[in-house]
Amino acid sequence: MTGRLAQMLRFACVGVVNTGTYYACYRALLTGLPYLAAHTLAFCLSMVGSFFLNARFTYRVRPTWRKFLLFPLTNAANFVITTSGVYVLVDLVHLSSHYAPLIAAGAAVPITFVVSRMIMLRPDNREASESLVEPVAPATPSA
């Protein structure tokens, strides 16, 4: 399997976890907020988790402040597409607000992958000094 194909598969797996996280947050927030507010807050919460999962599992890079601050760009198109999709599906098509986000999310996945790959794999000379996690010493065999 090529490196890019492996990344796509890991990205898809992270996406499944992220979608589950988003949807659980959305449904919980929907009990007290209008659907667009619930969608926006759930989207932001799941994006933080997505950043760390993609850094660790998809791209296998150290999470840095720079990447963390740029990562929302990976979801900007996703947010516009899914939010527009949720609005169209709920207000114009009259689909249930409980299921509309799941349908709307599918169209944005390829765009999100391309942009996240560009940001996460971008060389950054300052990575070590701005890491969001402490470096882990390599394991040494015990004598």
**CA-to-CA distance for 19 and 38, rounded, in angstroms?**
14
**CA-to-CA distance for 32 and 121, rounded, in angstroms?**
39
Report phi then psi at 45, rounded to 5.
-65, -45
Give the amino acid at 28: A
- Tell whether 141 is covered by a domain: no
C-alpha closest to that of 78 among 54, 108, 39, 42? 108
DSSP, collapsed to helix, strand or coil, labels residue 131 as strand
Confidence of residue 110 (pLDDT cuts 50, 70, 90): confident
What is the domain range of residue 31?
3-130
- Asked if 32 contacts 56 with a C-beta cutoff of 8 angstroms, the reply is no
- Tell whether 136 is covered by a domain: no
- Tell whether 139 is covered by a domain: no
Q: Identify the DSSP state of 133.
A: S
- Tell whether 137 is covered by a domain: no
DSSP, collapsed to helix, strand or coil, labels residue 98 as coil
Domain count within the chain: 1
Mean pLDDT of 22-51: 94
Q: Check whether 141 has a pLDDT greater than 80.
A: no
- Tell whether 142 is covered by a domain: no
The radius of gyration of the chain from alpha carbons, rounded to an integer in Å, stands at 17
Mean pLDDT of 47-60: 94
**Full-model pTM:** 0.68
Confidence of residue 3 (pLDDT cuts 50, 70, 90): confident
- Tell whether 12 is covered by a domain: yes
The secondary structure element, H or E, covering residue 122 is none
